[in-house]
Structure 1
Amino acid sequence: MYRERASRIPGAVVWARTLEPGAVAPVLPDGCMDLLWRDGELLVAGPDTRAYVPDAATGPRYAGVRFAPGAGPAALGVPAHELRDRRVPLAALWPGAEVRRAAERIGQAPDPAAALEALALARAGEPDPLMRAVAARLAEGRPVAETAAAVGLGARQLHRRSLDAFGYGPKTLARVLRLQRALALVWRGVPYAEAALAAGCADQAHLAREMRALTGTTLSGYARAAKSATPTPSGSWSVA
């Protein structure tokens, strides 16, 4: 069972999920970072450049705070590129004693997701407004060069600041967000070719190549899985 709601942290989503035995499926790249609670353990999921498949042996109860692209570093205190394609214990980033107390408090709470959100809210800083503008423009499908000019950054400056904010360069973020736009349409039943053009791909073949490159699966595979599961807002249907 999966449920979610908007967080009190601007742009973030609070979610919770209980997995049935064997209910493990890939988490697709979405440009986001998550603060996770997993049956008593606190973790951080960094930004992905490829699909991530959770260990089937992990616990069944999860809660998470999914930060908007570029907002995770301000809350977690670490540049996003240091966590790219990684899941790390929160104790590797924050003082261990503080993390142990927080994990115990969240585990005893009637609503672990709400308690996790409170922890994130207490730490949440103000994201870089320039990078927030970059993410918003790329999410709309604006070209990277146009985005750089609009925010007043050179190509190298934009790339360097994007590594810290998003975990990868603006071109990769643009690809990830374009794929997410397309998958949101596919999940709603829009034909592949129409979804590809609406999302900003050249054609259906372009979208299919991006799907394979970023997720390791196919559009038809995603569509089949989406029919039998509840995807998250980021187009995946499992835990982070």
Structure 2
Amino acid sequence: MYEERASRLDGAVVWTRTVDRRAGDVHPVLPDGCMDLLWADGRLLVAGPDTHAHTAGELPATRYVGVRFAPGTAPAFLGVPAHELRDRRVELADVWGAAEARRLTDRIDAAADPVAELEAVALRRADRVEPPDPLLSEVVRRLEAGGTVAGAAEAVGLGARQLHRRSLSAFGYGPKTLARVLRLQRALTLVRAGVPYAEVALGAGCADQAHLAREMRDLAGITLGAYAALANRETPQPSGSRTTA
């Protein structure tokens, strides 16, 4: 079972998932441009930005709690460029040090409400770090709305090379990849709403249904039909909730 709510941390989402592996409770984790701070059965981890789907077996836990950060906001919080964590799940100890990770893990393990405690960890940390780059937040806003990379770069006054370099640090990959990932997420939202695939393709910004099918294969690793079947069985968790259950 998956649940989420808006976090008190600006732009973030707090989510939980309980996995019943005996019942075949498995969902692919799809790219969404986000990064997560995870508590998984007593382990604290960081999930980096994805460029492809992740599948079962990476984190064999049954109970997960996560704080999902909006695209571009986690690197300042973590103190690590996003490209160093691209397509990776790493122990928090590798990012903040073993002593700090153990202290926080013990606190969350002992909490009556691990969800609230993990969010509190994120809030305390956020108060001590620099805010995200406002130019890149504007880039995300424009790309989420279906704008072009060139248009976003022009709007924020960055050249192509400057935008690419800053995007690697903030998003884990270049702006063109981010645009593809955000377009995929627009498409998945429409699929979950039951919109016909041809309309999904146009609504998300793909050239046609064949283009959307290729993007699903390349980024999600599944077909539109397979994703729709998952959506009908149980609303899949947003890909940022990287339980890889």
Q: In the alignment, is the contact (CA less than 8 A) between 2:68 and 2:241 conserved in 1?
A: no
Aligned mates of 2:104, 2:119 — CA distance in 1: 11
- TM-score w.r.t. structure 2 length? 0.94
Show the counterpart of 1:47.
Answer: 49
The Cα offsets for residues 167-190 of structure 1, whole Å up to 9 and x where unpaired, read as: 000000000000000110001100
2:218 aligned with 1:239: no
SS of the residue 2:96 aligns to? coil
Shift of 1:238: 6.5
Alignment of 1:93-104 (within 5 A): 93-104=95-106
SS of the residue 2:16 aligns to? strand
Show the counterpart of 1:227.
Answer: 232
Shift of 1:97: 1.0
Relative contact order, higher structure (CA 8 A, sep 6+): 2
Q: Which runs of 5+ in 1 are unaligned?
A: none
Shift of 1:230: 2.4
Code of the residue aligned with 1:40 in structure 2: it is G
Show the counterpart of 2:143.
Answer: 138
2:36 aligned with 1:34: yes
Code of the residue aligned with 1:136 in structure 2: it is R
4+ aligned runs moved over 6 Å, structure 1: none
Alignment of 1:171-210 (within 5 A): 171-210=176-215
Shift of 1:17: 0.8
SS of the residue 1:110 aligns to? coil
Aligned mates of 1:86, 1:192 — CA distance in 2: 31
Aligned mates of 2:120, 2:58 — CA distance in 1: 28
Aligned mates of 2:52, 2:141 — CA distance in 1: 22
Show the counterpart of 1:110.
Answer: 112
Aligned mates of 2:110, 2:217 — CA distance in 1: 41
2:158 aligned with 1:153: yes
Code of the residue aligned with 2:51 in structure 1: it is T
Show the counterpart of 1:25.
Answer: 27
Show the counterpart of 1:15.
Answer: 15
Inter-CA distance 101–191: structure 2 relative to 1 (3 Å threshold): same
Q: In the alignment, is the contact (CA less than 8 A) between 1:229 and 1:237 conserved in 2?
A: no
Task: Supply the RMSD in Å over aligned alpha carbons.
Answer: 1.4
Code of the residue aligned with 1:195 in structure 2: it is V
Show the counterpart of 2:93.
Answer: 91
Shift of 1:24: 2.3
2:172 aligned with 1:170: no
SS of the residue 1:63 aligns to? strand
The Cα offsets for residues 179-207 of structure 1, whole Å up to 9 and x where unpaired, read as: 00011000110001101101111111110
SS of the residue 2:161 aligns to? helix
Q: In the alignment, is the contact (CA less than 8 A) between 1:29 and 1:49 conserved in 2?
A: yes
Shift of 1:108: 1.6
Q: In the alignment, is the contact (CA less than 8 A) between 2:28 and 2:56 conserved in 1?
A: yes
Aligned mates of 1:56, 1:173 — CA distance in 2: 24
The Cα offsets for residues 207-240 of structure 1, whole Å up to 9 and x where unpaired, read as: 0000001011100010001111222244x88725
User: Identity, % of aligned pairs?
Assistant: 68
- TM-score w.r.t. structure 1 length? 0.96
